[in-house]
Amino acid sequence: MTDQNCGVSNIVGASFSIHPMSDDFVDIIMGALKEVDTSKVWLETDDVSTTVRGKSVHIFDVTKALFMHAAKTGKHVAFQATYSVGCPGDSEGDVYLEVDEVPLNEEKVRDWKQYVAAKFSLYPLGGGNYMDAIYQQIEAMKEYVTVSHAHYATKLEGDASQVFAGLENVFNATVEGGSSHTVMTVSISANSPSHKDSN
Amino acid sequence: MTDQNCGVSNIVGASFSIHPMSDDFVDIIMGALKEVDTSKVWLETDDVSTTVRGKSVHIFDVTKALFMHAAKTGKHVAFQATYSVGCPGDSEGDVYLEVDEVPLNEEKVRDWKQYVAAKFSLYPLGGGNYMDAIYQQIEAMKEYVTVSHAHYATKLEGDASQVFAGLENVFNATVEGGSSHTVMTVSISANSPSHKDSN
């Protein structure tokens, strides 16, 4: 880990997992990876999670598209991600920044209807007023989906595209608001048998 | 959310999910819940995750035991948790603190051998020296399991009991070290087909 470029570097990353609760989990994950164009992000998978690094727009585009493709199978799918940007704590390299801002997968999944329940937590690190930033972004999220309070997180319910749009907005707004090191954790559940409203 | 008891309250909590990658996911989760004694924690499940709140020892005892029971089925099981303590940000209530410190499930699962790969991230919030606390705890983890660097996390490999022992130690040490609001995220994978070493 190096801090040399702290404050200059704008590498956004996500460490995420897609968990299809199905005997076909390998096929579902592989199928999603095949359908999604990941050429504008650095990507590495190990036995715990997949990490993508690059420009913010592509990190959200790729993670959303992978989740949407997995959920489209109709199986109960859980998605877990930690989005992160900033330093100290980040390392250099392993990143594609020499690409344009045009998302590669947005158009394909834009009109897919997928009800989800989700929880997100925002952690602006290293600053004293971090709770204000959190409350502000919970308010902002209400423009996208249904928001309620949960222990240790904020609950979101609605269409997957709107949930991801809200998450991307909240994350970017926290960074633009001055947080030098921002972490956002997200858990999303699709097609759960315990969803009360899964239209 | 209230801050009145900030610095006094010692409610530890975890928001977690167990994802068996199997058509039998409901039975596996229900089976684990049946086998684990959760009477010393407050517990609530919704369609995204389960939340437990109480004394630190019981939060780790219950989450570990639930994971161990699910993994014992031999199915590929992923466990995700956010452990949290402190304020601002915490709310009062929904907690069992009038219990002793004797863990109810430790003895049963103590000798179960279960290889796991895991990633954890520690977020001591609201303080300037949080990176020092993180580096110190990554060192401490090396006494328990194999530790390596990953983007946005620290990778752990070894026996599940040792992984949980290390996580509990790191979390408690960060709190005792003076962090007023500590968050730790954990992803654990058991019986993965992509595990290279799963003895």
What domains does chain B contain, in order, with CATH numbers? Answer: 12-86+109-190 (3.30.70.930)
Indicate the residue of A14, A23, A123 with minimum beta-carbon distance to B183.
Answer: A123
The reply to whether residue A194 touches residue B76, judged by beta carbons under 8 angstroms, is: no
Give which of A48, A90, A125, A131 to mutate to test B binding, by max B Cβ within 10 Å.
A48
Range ranked top by mean pLDDT from A44-58, A171-185, B121-135, B183-197: A44-58
**Model pLDDT, residue B89:** 59
Please give the average per-residue pLDDT across B7-29, as a whole number: 89
Tell me if A121 sits within 8 A of A138, measured CB to CB. no
| Structure-model confidence comparison of residues B26 and B6, the more confident one | B26
C-alpha dihedral sign at A18, B65, A47, A86: positive
Higher-pLDDT residue of B90 and B198 is B90
Inter-chain CB proximity B48 and A123 less than 8 Å: no
For chain A, which ranges sit under pLDDT 50? 1-8, 198-199
What pLDDT sits at residue A189?
98
pLDDT given at position A129 = 76
Q: Do A150 and B187 touch (CB under 8 A)?
A: no
Query: pTM, whole model, 2 decimals?
Result: 0.92
Residue A54: partners with Cβ closer than 8 Å, 6 or more residues away: A11, A12, A13, A40, A41, A42, A95, A96, A97, A99
At residue A89, the pLDDT reads 59
Over residues B64-76, the pLDDT tens digits come to 999 999 999 999 9
Best residue in A6, A152, A174 to probe B by mutation, most B CBs within 10 Å? A152
> pLDDT tens-digit profile of B159-170?
999 999 999 999
